A and B are shown apart, each in its own frame.
Chain A
Amino acid sequence: MKSLKNIEKELTPKEIAESLIFPDTRSPKQREALLEAYSEHRKKGSAKQSEKAKLIALLLQLKFLIEDYIASDKFNKELYFGYFLKEYIQRLEKKNKEFAQEIDVDPAELSQIINRHRKPTEKLIFRLEIHSNRNFPALLWFKILEKERAYELQHNRNIIEDEKRHVKQRLEFSF
């Protein structure tokens, strides 16, 4: 391990700041005092934050959670399209009916999507992109649906079985 003095000999302060963050070397008691003071500062900072900044933070949180869920290998049946849509509406502090009007969708249709009784249409997804001013692009919403679809196909073969009678001819071999 290199000593701080050696690091300071080799690198300029700018280079150090661009490549290293050092651990706090305070005693537990000193650190506790510091964190207590910071906690007060943090509370004040939060109270001073504008409503817009708070909303941006809430929406960014939702967007990052969606992105990570899409990127993960795991499927969670609670995290379906309607769940994320409901979160989006709630974070905007809107009622479902009000939101349905804003994107020109029948409130009953919106409710069915949120409650997983109906799949969203492409039009709805495009309108979500427009409503969010492209902060939640259509592709993001489609990827949630795609993940749901992939899980359904893996775990519910009946979807395929039901279609068998419609296929009159098929390949005679498999790879």
Chain B
Amino acid sequence: MTVENPLTGEKLEVIIEPAAKEDFKVISKDKIRFSAFDWNKYKEKEVYKLRLKTDQTIQGLMCLRDFPPEMGVNALEIELLEVSAENRQAGKKLSGVAGCMIAFACRESFKRGYQGWVFLIPKTYLIEHYSSAYGFIHFPLITPDRPEGIMELDTIGAHLLIKKYLA
């Protein structure tokens, strides 16, 4: 599993592992790099961090929510994901951080017997971008209050993402 240094094209090995209690302390102090969400609210949930193999610095965070068959869904939801600030815009230090984390979620989905199915709930204006960046398919589950529905990766989409980012 690798991310890329866009400047040099160098591939760098990364590790995705569960975030530990100490990590949440680091994240809450590191408000410049992780500014979008209050990750402390999620510390009892299934949160993973991505870091370089050679470095403990957290480059990305992701919260997964498990919907097993007994809950009728049989898929994993990516509830929350944040790439560290320096890896977001033009001039970013690393590219592929989110891709690796989403592919990791797909791999977890296969492991848990959900056939790779992963979903997220998008903001309307991001729908086309999640689709072009990661191959998510939009499923407009219209409910009275929200029209944006769900975006999902099925077995084939999940497998493609794993091959792209985790091989």
Contacts and interface: CB of A to CB of B under 8 A. Distances in A.
Q: Is chain A's binding surface mostly helix, strand, loop or mixed? A: helix
A20 B139 CA distance: 20
B81 A20 contact: yes
Given A2-B36, A11-B88, A19-B83, A64 B126 contact: no
B71 to A, nearest CB: 8
Contacts of A61: 110-111, 113
Interface string A21-49: 11110100010011111110111011001
Contacts of B75: 42
Contacts, number: 122
Interface residues of A, number: 41
Contacts of A167: none
A41 B139 contact: yes
Interface stretch (B3-11, B18-26, B47-55, B154-162): B154-162
A42 B77 CA distance: 13
B2 interface: no
A21 B116 contact: no
Nearest to A1: B38
B111 A17 contact: no
Interface in B107-158: 107, 110-111, 113, 115-117, 119-121, 123, 125-126, 129-130, 133, 139, 141, 143-146, 150, 154-156
Contacts of B162: 60
6 contacts: A11-B88, A14-B129, A17-B129, A26-B145, A56-B159, A60-B116
Interface of B: 31, 35-38, 62, 67, 71-75, 78-83, 87-89, 97-98, 107, 110-111, 113, 115-117, 119-121, 123, 125-126, 129-130, 133, 139, 141, 143-146, 150, 154-156, 159, 162
